[in-house]
Chains A and B, each alone.
Chain A
Amino acid sequence: MSICKPLAAALFVGFAFGSAAYAANTPGLGKPVTESDIKAWDITVLPDGTGLPPGSGTAEQGAKLFVAKGCNQCHGDGAKGGRANMLIGSPSLTEPGISANKTIANFWGQPTTLFDYIRRAMPWPTPETLSNDEVYALCAYLFAGNNLIPKDEVMDAQTLPKIKMPNRHNFIIKFPDRI
């Protein structure tokens, strides 16, 4: 792999020159920006852990936050589900048939999805207000509650992407030729 890297870089440079020539035929009104300019929006977390920020949290902290931040008002006490999705629990995926309840523990394929979604979308009334430590703590609470990590395991940028989701091998790519 390391031998390939310089080659790939060289190809990229070559491509970039070609692209610049092509782009001359388009309006080119986009303003060049740096990664630091867009930091506030650069929130996507990829399955390999890319994008996970510094910080950490534990299940114990997360359990308190789950109530303090009002998560339980929609997701129920103990995250067992309410008017919003069940977050702790692993019902059968086959017994109720094709309309089974797809939960973090019984369905999700990647642990990073949880951090990404809580950070971008929750809490419902006040999204994007949680600190990174708080998001890690809530993830720890939900992963521990689902017995996917030990109760005392600290969640951070190194530990979180390593969690093995039980259902990760049960997906079939529907249209592989489209990717």
Chain B
Amino acid sequence: MNRRKGSGYTPPFEQVAGNGLLHRRALLGGGLMLAGAVSSGASLTSADAEPLTIPEWTLEPGEVTPVLQTPSPYEKNVVRILSNPKGDPRTQHARAPLQMLNGTITPNPLHFTILHSGIPDIDPAQHRFIIHGMVRQALEYTVDDLLRYPMVTRKHFVECGGNSAPMFSDVPIQATVQQIHGLSSCAEWTGVPVSTILDEAGIDPRAKWMVAEGADSLLVSRSCPLKKGYEDAMIALYQNGERLMPGNGYPMRLLLPGYEGNMNTKFLRRLYITDQPAMTFYETRNYSPLLPDGKAYRFYFINEVKSFITQPSFGSTLKKPGYYEISGLAYSGTGRIERVRVTADGGKSWADAALEGPISPKAFTRFVMPWRWDGQPAVISSRAWDDSGEVQPLRADFVAVRGQTKRPVTNSNAFPNNHYNSLTAWGIESSGEIKHVYM
């Protein structure tokens, strides 16, 4: 490694942590191609190259332009995974293929959704939204009314409180990023600040809660502190520039940045202002996580700081030793991602990953780390910090408080518990195969 030491030459593969993690300089290109060739020992000569031919699609005009674009048929595998494809009378989960995407925005058709009783067919012309209860004046709004309001646009993740739930298993489940972490997505949301509506209704100073309700057949309802309503909540009308997807709450939804998905009431039709939480079914049962001693957390609003490597990850295989870019997502319900560290030696040594900016608070942040795999077994993982001082807990520390199952979880659709935000590790075997491991 110390070859040419003192010569003034900077090796392109400057190692920053164990097992081949490289300086971020390697991301900039330049010497990388050369280094890659050296590393893999490949020597491409003209004898290896096949002469180019004329592709048939260049020999005739293409298809007629559609009004609405859909992805290339060659990308047909980039779809969500459904937990209930036949629509049996229970919840339907659609998990986003995060390991097949890049950047930080989840395309609308791939944004994760959870529908507790299907997608209601809501006519926006007939939809009504009301605010009432401990207010000076109860008010009713149409969708057209709200579309005339001053709006804000912000990039935020939404994540189910039960995302990553299979990680509560005592034995690591062999499943993809999509199966484990796919109940999380990030979009640019545009809508009316909830504070505007609170001000128009005139909130009784004794009130502390807003009980939100959707127009689905279960009238899904959650209580949210008014504090959040004044802080950064919005009534979202647009998702990545277009009106909300039906499964994401068309024609309007509550968006509570950083708070568990279920609280972000879809098909929003009502805010009931009260001095007490309603203790609705979902906050009473599903979203009060059980602790090992039988007690339970209540009002676990926040999706805490989390990160995971999306590539390479379970389901893909490293074909041969050489250069790879480790890439992943980090996000936090308590702030802006400030730092992500990556390990390739199972946590013995760590190095800072490069964060792709601009970094928005409570939003997906893409981290990347150049890596030269030497073909030996390796364990890669990531750990994130946010600007409020929160750090992603190590698994041992997390399990000490929250516990784990007594039997292995083998069904990736199961929710043994919720609000898991510890580390995810991928074990690379010398064959290039990738396993989900704990470290």
Contacts and interface: CB of A to CB of B under 8 A. Distances in A.
A90 to B, nearest CB: 12
A30 B296 contact: no
Interface in A1-54: 8, 11-12, 15-16, 19-20, 22-23, 26-35, 37-38, 41-48
B416 interface: yes
B196 A30 contact: no
A81 interface: no
Nearest to A121: B218
Interface residues of B, number: 75
A97 B292 CA distance: 6
B405 A97 contact: yes
B202 A16 contact: yes
Contacts of A121: 117, 217-219, 281
A89 B112 CA distance: 34
Contacts of B302: 174-175, 178
Contacts of A97: 292, 403-406
B5 interface: no
A31 B141 contact: yes
Interface string A68-112: 000000100000000110000000011011111010000111101
Interface stretch (A57-65, A130-138, A139-147, A165-173): A165-173
Contact of A35 (B132, B293, B416, B417): B132
Given A29-B148, A38-B130, A172-B298, A99 B417 contact: yes
Contact of B294 (A28, A42, A124, A170): A170
B269 interface: yes
Contacts of A33: 130, 132, 138-140
Interface in B69-83: none
A26 B196 CA distance: 7
Given A99-B417, A116-B280, A19 B202 contact: yes
Given A33-B130, A98-B404, 15 more contacts: A15-B204, A38-B138, A47-B276, A83-B90, A97-B292, A98-B168, A98-B416, A116-B280, A124-B117, A127-B218, A170-B296, A171-B288, A171-B297, A174-B298, A179-B227
